[in-house]
Amino acid sequence: MCPSWIPFVIAISVVVVAWYSADGAVIQFVIGWCANWPSRQASVHSQRLAFPPPSRSPDTTAIVLNWSRLSNVVYIASILCSESLNHAIQTVFIWNNNPNPLTHKDFIQSSCPENKLTIYNSPENVYFQARFMACAQANTSYCFMQDDDFVVWPEVLTTLHARFSESSSPGIHLLPPHERLSSDLKRVEKEPYIHASFAWLGHGAIIRQSRAVQFLSLFKELNMSAEQFKMADNYYTLLSNTVADTWFDQGHELGGGTPFTVGPEGDQRNNKHIINAARLLDEIFCDSSPCSLSDAAVGEYVSSTKSSTRTMTYAPCKGVPCLFGTSTRLLPASLSHSVNAAEEILESELNKRELLGEEYISQYISNSPSHAVDNDIGSAFCAPDNVASGDVVSLDVLHDVWSHSSAVNFHIVTNANTLPLLDNATYETSPNGIDWVPSGVLPSCVESITTPRKGSEEILWECKIHLLPSYTARESRHFRVRFTDLDDLVSRRLCIYEIYIGYFKNIGL
pLDDT tens sequence across 433-453 = 999 999 999 999 999 877 766
* 195 and 77 fall within a common domain: yes
Q: Is the dihedral of CA 358, 360, 362, 365 positive or negative?
A: negative
Residue 227 is assigned to a structural domain of this protein: yes
Contacts (Cβ under 8 Å, ≥6 apart) of 22? none
DSSP 8-state code for residue 84: G
* 26 and 94 fall within a common domain: no
In tens, the pLDDT along 144-179 reads 999 999 999 999 999 999 999 999 999 999 999 999
* 226 and 184 fall within a common domain: yes
Strands 252-253 vs 150-151: parallel, antiparallel or unpaired: antiparallel
The H-or-E segment that residue 220 falls in is helix 209-221
If one counts the domains in the chain, the total is 3
Cis bond upstream, residue 192 (ω within 30): yes
Residue 334 is assigned to a structural domain of this protein: no
Instruction: Please say whether the beta carbons of 438 and 479 come within 8 A.
Output: no
- 3-state secondary structure (DSSP) of residue 498: strand
Domain boundary among 242, 275, 301: 301
* Phi, psi dihedrals of residue 222, rounded to the nearest 5°: -85, 0
Distance, CA of 202 to CA of 232 (rounded, Å): 12
* 126 and 214 fall within a common domain: yes
pLDDT value at residue 491:
77
Q: Give the largest CA-CA distance in the chain.
A: 94
Residue 508 is assigned to a structural domain of this protein: no
Distance, CA of 476 to CA of 459 (rounded, Å): 32
* 136 and 34 fall within a common domain: no
Domain residues for 461? 374-503
* 20 and 112 fall within a common domain: no
* 119 and 166 fall within a common domain: yes
Distance, CA of 200 to CA of 197 (rounded, Å): 10
pLDDT value at residue 304:
85
Report the amino acid identity of residue 400. Answer: D
* Phi, psi dihedrals of residue 175, rounded to the nearest 5°: -140, 135
Angle at CA 285, nearest 5°, toward 280 and 287?
A: 120
DSSP 8-state code for residue 370: G
Per-residue tens of pLDDT for the chain, all 509 residues: 444 444 444 444 433 333 333 333 333 333 333 433 333 333 433 578 888 878 789 999 999 999 999 999 999 999 999 999 999 999 999 999 999 999 999 999 999 999 999 999 999 999 999 999 999 999 999 999 999 999 999 999 999 999 999 999 999 999 999 999 999 999 999 998 899 999 999 999 999 999 999 999 999 989 999 999 999 999 999 999 999 999 999 878 887 766 655 568 889 999 999 999 999 999 888 764 556 544 555 668 999 888 777 889 999 999 999 999 999 999 999 999 999 999 999 999 999 999 999 999 999 999 999 999 999 988 999 999 899 999 999 999 999 999 888 899 999 999 999 999 999 999 999 999 999 999 999 999 999 877 766 566 789 999 999 999 988 888 999 999 999 988 888 778 899 999 999 986 543 32
pTM, full prediction: 0.88
Residue 126 is assigned to a structural domain of this protein: yes
Distance, CA of 220 to CA of 289 (rounded, Å): 22
| Residue (of 334, 357, 369) closest to 494 by Cα position | 369
- 3-state secondary structure (DSSP) of residue 41: helix
* 65 and 15 fall within a common domain: no
Check which CATH number belongs to the domain holding 394 and give it. 2.60.120.260
pLDDT value at residue 487:
81
Residue 270 is assigned to a structural domain of this protein: no
Domain boundary among 240, 274, 301: 301
Residue 164 is assigned to a structural domain of this protein: yes
Beta strands in 249-312 (DSSP E): 252-253
Q: Residue 311: count other Cβ atoms within 10 Å of its Cβ.
A: 11
Residue 495 is assigned to a structural domain of this protein: yes
For the chain, the average pLDDT equals 87
pLDDT value at residue 307:
76
* 135 and 10 fall within a common domain: no
Instruction: Please say whether the beta carbons of 375 and 365 come within 8 A.
Output: no
Check which CATH number belongs to the domain holding 113 and give it. 3.90.550.10
* 93 and 201 fall within a common domain: yes
β-pair partners for 248: 175
| Residue (of 45, 36, 28) closest to 1 by Cα position | 36
Residue 279 is assigned to a structural domain of this protein: no
DSSP 8-state code for residue 5: T
Where residue 448 falls (left for φ over 0; alpha for ψ -120 to 50; beta otherwise) is: alpha
* 78 and 221 fall within a common domain: yes
* 30 and 132 fall within a common domain: no
pLDDT value at residue 16:
35
β-pair partners for 189: 195, 338
